[in-house]
Every structure is written in structure tokens, then in C-alpha cells.
Chain A
Amino acid sequence: MSYFRVASLRVGYAGQDVIKTISLTFDKGRISTIIGPNGSGKSTLLKAAGRLLKPYSGAILLENSDIFAMEDRAVAKRLGILPQSPTAPMDLPVHCLVAYGRTPHHGFFNNFSKEDQEAVSWAIEATGLADKRFKRIGQLSGGERQRAWIAMALAQKPEILLLDEPTTYLDIHHQFEVLELLQGLNRDHNLTVIMVLHDLNLAASFSHRIIALKDGIMVADGDPERVLNTETISEVFNIRSKVLRISEDGISKTVAIPLGVRH
């Protein structure tokens, strides 16, 4: 039985296909990253996988159940999604935003349990927002805001977390912090992560698998060492590049250095 499956998915907006039949199988406890140029359909694919956009055909299956046929809250307990640029009321305090992440667990009528409270505190600490918990969203920097949203998604405690460009607005330090946090959750709690990243090198460092999209079609899929090569990068992004494998401090990495636009 496959864990999480995108089966012959065709989806788009207003009857226009954006994703033109893609099938993918995700194993439990792996980090997968979707890359591709602007407008290639990364967010669309993620939204369909996260039950925000109904497929024209095909299905999204969580342990063989169609997530669109499942109960709203039952899905939300297991599958979390953070879309690309979420907005919240400017005067919303950080701790309230994070607490909303508990919604699928405590329901709309029950009050906060101790478990809910702990999950919120943990998510706030984990994203380094402890001293900002009573700040309002409007009082945060772009990066802090991004981390507050990630904290909300973490408080939801899903088994599968879908993230659309979770590192935008973050400086290098916080990019690594967020991705290392996800990596830690993946390692310690077997969290399955499917995310969209624009930075190929971050994608290579933190993912077990990279999926490259172009014009709604999957161009490459596999482990980072295989997908990140000069030909694929050229095909997907239309740039010249050099790909290096480096080893430093016992960490080996695949690094793509863009050289320029291909003419």
C-alpha cells in the first residue's frame, strides 16, 4: 500500500489545465522538494495535494483513501498545508495564530486541552518566536511572520506537511533554521515533508527526493544527486550551470552554480 499518492492528477483553474496528468507516490517519512520555474504549476500541484483545489481528474490518496472523500477534520489532523503567501489580520497576536493550528484537533466548540497548549508552546519555541508570542502579526518582520505561519502549521502536528516556499523572506540563517527544524521533525517524528523551494542548493541539501516541473509536466524525479545535473537544470530553467559535489566536515553536498541564461 502506498502512503501518499498523487494518482493521474489533472488540475488547474477555470477549466484550464495547469497540471497535465502527474502521478507521484510519496513514502512515509521522506522529504520531497518540488522545483521549477515561476508559473510551472508547483503551487497548483501542492494545493491539489493539500485538498485546496479539486482535481479535474485523478485523485489524491492517503493510505488508499481519496482525501476529497474524507471528512474535513480527519484530513486536517493528518495533513497540514501552508500556502505560498498567507495573510492574517495585522493585529492578530502570534500565540493566537499558532493556536489556530490546533483547530482540527479540538474542534470548534471544545476548549483548549493541555495537549493543545503544549503543542502551541512547543511550536512557538521550535520556531524561535518565544519572545514574540504576544507581538502582533503586523509588528513582525517578513521573516518572523513566515516563522509564525510555520509555527501554526507545526502546531497542527500533521504526519504530512506541505509547504509552499517556506523559506521566502528568510535570511540564510533562518532558512537553515527552518529547514533544519523540518529535517529534525522528519528524523525524530517521521514527518513526511513535501515542499516547494526555489533554491536548488537548499533543495539538494535537505531533500531525499527532488521533483522538477516545467509547464505542468514532470521533467525529472529522483534523489538530488541524480536530478541536479547540468542537462536537467538547463531543460527546466533554461540556464547554463555547473554542478559540483563537495565534501566538507564529513558533509557531502551537491551544489549547482548558475552561470547565465542560455541563449
Chain B
Amino acid sequence: MKTLLVDPEHKKRRLTALCGALLLVGGLVLSIAKGSVDIPLWDLVLVFVDPDINEGFYQVVMNIRLPRVLVGGLVGINLALSGAILQSVLKNPLADPGIIGISAGAGLAAMVVMILFPAYSALIPPAAFIGAICAALIIYFIAYDGGAHTLRLVLAGVALSAFLGAFMSTLTVLYSDRVQGTVNWMAGALIGKSWNHLYMVLPYSLIGLVGAIIGSRYLNILALGDDIARGLGLPVERVKFLLTLLAALLAASAVAAVGLLGFVGLIIPHITRLLIGSNNRFLIPFSAAFGAVTVIFADTIARTLFSPYELPVGIIMAFVGAPFFLYLLARGIK
């Protein structure tokens, strides 16, 4: 007896996709319109029609807000994907590049390049990638036990982050002339992000997005457990290694662009999972979209809440993310 012919989840996913798309467009528009100068919607449209109608608005949108919003979106995508991949590969619901120390590794390496080779900003992402991998390796060898103890990884990550953070703080004190906006960097901020930052992150986001979408099939098989995955012909160790590299690359490019923006990779995959379930074929693209939406909205709040003062977007994420983290803990994690 065939009672049902289509998966009932199908409808739910379509609805979520629609909401996600609306939120993304709404977030982009709102984020570009709002700020120290509010741009009415109609004027915003005109900016894209003819730059000469309102030169002032044109400058604000094209040189300040648009690149900033786009960088925010890409960083959101990268961090959300990195978190989604790490949570699956490490079988740990608390995995997030910030929490397990990968971002700190990337941050320290990026900072070293900024101090030693200030002229070569293109070197920052690759250096951050190397730093991220080193941190991942340290965590892997010290604290990874096949996912048996969730907190072990978190504790090791906290310690490693603190350790690497100490180096970063020392550098910022010793080279205060060369590292500007340290507070913003340590918290993760989009202030002053330009087209250059966008071009810096974009290739990594594209590689990461394609890699994650390909990887989603592997993530689904890995979710059945290592033994089943091996039995189905998956080279488990190699796949996990490559996926971890991908997660490190995504996190590193985000850190290289905006600093230590935390919690995006923790929260987004969880919320996405609640909305559309744990099938990675959908979880991965939806997480990417919601990651972008979240960072864009959070940055809009960060810019407008105490205007004319701007908060780093990372502070807004911490306000939301830290309680969420505590909630996950309280919900009972082994």
C-alpha cells in the first residue's frame, strides 16, 4: 500500500526557501538604506538608475554600504558553512570555528601578516588558512575522541583560543602603530569594509560553497556513523580530512576579512536544522543563506542601535550567540 507518494517535507522546504529569499532581499535593502544617513527607498532605487541624481547617496551606497553589506553576507555564508561542516564531521553539536579555536589560529596568523607584511593584504587569507589548519590539528590531536565527549572539544577549544588570544593581545600592544582597530578586529566588525575586502573573500566563498554543496552528500553518509559509511564504500578518513580543510578555509577567509566574528557558525546550522531538518543536501545551502541574512541584519542593528556610535557586529552576535550556546548546554549535552 502506497499511502504517500511525495515526501511531506517538500512543502516545508519550499516555504522556508521562500522566507529565506525574502529575508535576504529585505535584509540587503534595509541594510543599505539604514545608517547614519537614512536613504529613502525610492532614492535607493534611483542610485542604481542614475548616479548623477543624488551624488551624495551614490557615494554612500557604492563606496560604503554596498561593499560592507556584501562582505557581511559572504562572511556569514562562510562561517555558517564552516560550522555546519564541523558539527557533522566532528559529530559535535557545539562545534563552531570560533569555539573550537580554529578562528583564533586564523586570527593570529592573519595578524602576524598584517604586522610583518602590511603591504600584502592578499597574503592574509592564505596565512589565516595555515593558522586555522594548525589550530585544527592541535585540537584534533589533543581533544578529538571520535565525538564521544562533546565538552572535551569545547574545553580544549576555549583553552587554545585563550592561548592564541594572548599572543594576539601581546602583538596589538607591541605593534599598536601597525594594527589599527584592534577592538573591532578582536570582536569581528564590518566597519570600513571596502570592495577590496569583498574581492579578498569572494573566491574563498565560491570555493567553499561549491565544496560544501558537493560535500553535503558525503556529510549525509557520514551521519550514519563511520562503520556504515565505510561499508558503503566511503573513504571515511580522507573525506573527513578534506571536509575539515574546507571548514578551515571558510573560517579562515572570514577571519581574514573581518576578524574574530563568533557564534554565526554555531547558531545558524542549529536554527536551520530546526527549520528544515538534518539532511545536508538542504542544510548546507539553507545555512549559507541564513548565515548571510543573520550577519547582514546583525550588522544593521550594530550600526543603528547607538547611532552615531557603531558597535562591531561581533558584539551583537555574542549577545545572541552566548545565551544560545548556554541553552544548548542546558538542553543536556553529554
Is B181 located at the chain interface by the 8 A CB criterion?
Answer: no
Is A86 located at the chain interface by the 8 A CB criterion?
Answer: yes
Q: Give which listed residue, B8, B217, B225, B231, contacts A134 with CB less than 8 A.
A: B8
**Cross-chain contact A88 with B224 (CB below 8 angstroms):** yes
**Cross-chain contact B233 with A100 (CB below 8 angstroms):** no
Q: Give which listed residue, A52, A75, A87, A130, contacts B1 with CB less than 8 A.
A: A130
Residue of B4, B9, B231, B232 with highest tally of chain A CB at under 10 A: B231
A96 to B235 alpha-carbon distance, docked (Å): 21
A88 to B232 alpha-carbon distance, docked (Å): 14
In the complex formed, the residue of B with least CB distance to A83 is B227
**Cross-chain contact A76 with B232 (CB below 8 angstroms):** yes
In the complex formed, the residue of B with least CB distance to A47 is B227
**Cross-chain contact A134 with B227 (CB below 8 angstroms):** no
Interface residues on A, range: 35 or more
Contacts of B225 on A, CB cut-off 8 Å?
Answer: 83, 86-88
Contacts of B214 on A, CB cut-off 8 Å?
Answer: 109
Shortest CB-to-CB span from B67 to chain A, Å, is: 36
Shortest CB-to-CB span from B216 to chain A, Å, is: 10
Contacts of B234 on A, CB cut-off 8 Å?
Answer: 72, 103
Binary B-proximity of A86-123 (CB < 8 A = 1, otherwise 0): 11110111011100110110001100000000000000
**Cross-chain contact A103 with B227 (CB below 8 angstroms):** no
Contacts of A224 on B, CB cut-off 8 Å?
Answer: none
A75 to B279 alpha-carbon distance, docked (Å): 26
Shortest CB-to-CB span from A86 to chain B, Å, is: 5
A92 to B232 alpha-carbon distance, docked (Å): 17
Q: A83-B227, A86-B225 are in contact. Are A96 and B279 (CB under 8 A)?
A: yes
In the complex formed, the residue of A with least CB distance to B9 is A93
Is A77 located at the chain interface by the 8 A CB criterion?
Answer: yes
Q: A130-B2, A131-B1, A131-B3 are in contact. Are A89 and B223 (CB under 8 A)?
A: yes
A88 to B230 alpha-carbon distance, docked (Å): 15
Instruction: Name the interface residues of B283-317: CB closer than 8 Å to any CB of A.
Output: none
Is A81 located at the chain interface by the 8 A CB criterion?
Answer: yes
Contacts of B3 on A, CB cut-off 8 Å?
Answer: 131, 134
Binary B-proximity of A44-77 (CB < 8 A = 1, otherwise 0): 0001001110000000000000000000111111
Instruction: Name the interface residues of B1-45: CB closer than 8 Å to any CB of A.
Output: 1-4, 7-9
**Cross-chain contact A108 with B278 (CB below 8 angstroms):** no
Contacts of A81 on B, CB cut-off 8 Å?
Answer: 227, 231
Shortest CB-to-CB span from B234 to chain A, Å, is: 7
Chain B count of residues within 8 A CB distance of the other chain: 26
Contacts of B221 on A, CB cut-off 8 Å?
Answer: 100, 103
Is A80 located at the chain interface by the 8 A CB criterion?
Answer: yes
Shortest CB-to-CB span from B233 to chain A, Å, is: 3
Is B92 located at the chain interface by the 8 A CB criterion?
Answer: no
A100 to B231 alpha-carbon distance, docked (Å): 11
Contacts of A92 on B, CB cut-off 8 Å?
Answer: 223, 278-279
Is B121 located at the chain interface by the 8 A CB criterion?
Answer: no
**Cross-chain contact A76 with B220 (CB below 8 angstroms):** no
**Cross-chain contact A73 with B233 (CB below 8 angstroms):** yes
Q: A100-B221, A100-B224, A130-B2 are in contact. Are A52 and B7 (CB under 8 A)?
A: no
In the complex formed, the residue of A with least CB distance to B230 is A52
**Cross-chain contact B232 with A100 (CB below 8 angstroms):** yes
Q: Give which listed residue, B2, B228, B278, contacts A86 with CB less than 8 A.
A: B228
Instruction: Name the interface residues of A122-138: CB closer than 8 Å to any CB of B.
Output: 130-131, 133-134
Q: Give which listed residue, A91, A95, A134, contacts B277 with CB less than 8 A.
A: A91
**Cross-chain contact A104 with B233 (CB below 8 angstroms):** yes
**Cross-chain contact A77 with B233 (CB below 8 angstroms):** yes
A88 to B4 alpha-carbon distance, docked (Å): 22
A131 to B3 alpha-carbon distance, docked (Å): 6
Is B263 located at the chain interface by the 8 A CB criterion?
Answer: no
A88 to B225 alpha-carbon distance, docked (Å): 7
Nearest 6 A/B pairs, CB to CB: A76-B233, A73-B233, A104-B233, A103-B232, A81-B231, A72-B233
Could you list which residues of chain B lie within 8 angstroms of chain A, going by C-beta atoms?
1-4, 7-9, 214, 217-218, 220-221, 223-225, 227-228, 230-235, 277-279
What are 29 A-B residue pairs whose CB atoms fall within 8 Å in the complex?
A: A50-B231, A52-B227, A72-B234, A72-B235, A74-B233, A75-B233, A76-B231, A76-B232, A76-B233, A77-B233, A80-B231, A82-B228, A83-B227, A88-B223, A88-B224, A89-B223, A89-B279, A91-B279, A92-B223, A95-B7, A97-B224, A100-B232, A103-B233, A103-B234, A104-B233, A130-B2, A131-B3, A133-B4, A156-B232
